Amino acid sequence: MEELTSIHNQHVKNWKKLQTKKYRRQTGRYLLDGWHLVQEAHKAGIEILQLIGTDEQLDAHQDLIGLSAEVYQVTEEIMRHITETVTPQGIAAVVEMPNAHQVPSAPLNGAWLLLDRVQDPGNVGTMVRTADAAGFTGVVVGDRSADLFSPKVVRSMQGSQFHLQMYEGDLSKWIEDFKQVDAPVYGTQLNPAAKSFRDVHPGATFALIMGNEGHGMSKELLAQTTANLYIPMRGEAESLNVAVSAGILMFQLNQGLAD
């Protein structure tokens, strides 16, 4: 165990840099903040590359020190610095990001959530967490969505990233891949002329695409789907929050699997 007291230490600087997308891409790693996420990672069989804790927290959880080959005892100031949290729990860990630019090796199956330029990190994280609860198999984010492993998205995913396959990629290509295995791909549209979501009953393998908070899905993707779905709403309401819509749709489309 190494004891660090300065925020100018090179380890501390590197952990801090994990807040940037660029450095996460360079190293292939990201930071988990708090006991819940560290334990979820361990339960999921994810290797804890570095475990970082305050004196007090490491003392209180002796059993977890063995989880990692590299353990660092740090000050509360360092903890606040690297987590950008006002009152951090005092424990963090560095783990590997899944290799998100791969494509699945086995044929596509199960329910998948595709995110087209969803920009609010809280929305992205909440949708990943909801996909997990709804029994989905994986999540794919397109080019201009919030980064899956940014601190805010990680906080709101609450560990669901360990239960799902997580990918980044060209959604247009993913749609073609689903079509190749005869699986329907459902877009979503704020358009009463689209298909009511209650009229769709897919089998076990399908994809659902949610779009940008303000602008919805891109026209190009809307044109490529099997069908585009609409949630019928009372006239006076103009739209639903994207994460709420995604929840309604995922629990409706994946009924058989989630129960």
Q: Which single residue is written with the structure tokens 């005092």?
A: 90
- Measured from the CB atom, is 40 or 116 closer to a copy of itself? 40
- Count CB-CB contacts under 10 A for residue 169: 17
- Measured from the CB atom, is 73 or 130 closer to a copy of itself? 130
Contact between 151 and 33 (Cβ < 8 Å): yes
| SS3 (DSSP) at 124 | helix
Least distance (Å) between residue 258 CB and a copy of itself? 6
Least distance (Å) between residue 110 CB and a copy of itself? 11
Least distance (Å) between residue 119 CB and a copy of itself? 16
Instruction: Determine which helix (DSSP H) or strand (DSSP E) holds 172, and give its type and residue range.
Output: helix 171-180
Least distance (Å) between residue 46 CB and a copy of itself? 14
| SS3 (DSSP) at 60 | helix
- Measured from the CB atom, is 14 or 252 closer to a copy of itself? 252
Angle at 59 between CA 51 and CA 72, to 5 degrees: 30
Find the Cα–Cα–Cα–Cα dihedral 44, 47, 50, 54, rounded to 10°.
30
| Distance (Å, whole) CA 84 – CA 147 | 17
| Distance (Å, whole) CA 224 – CA 96 | 34
- Measured from the CB atom, is 101 or 234 closer to a copy of itself? 234
List residues binding a copy of itself (CB under 8 A): 126, 129-130, 132-135, 158, 160, 163, 196, 198, 231-234, 236-241, 243-248, 251, 255, 258-259
- Measured from the CB atom, is 68 or 245 closer to a copy of itself? 245
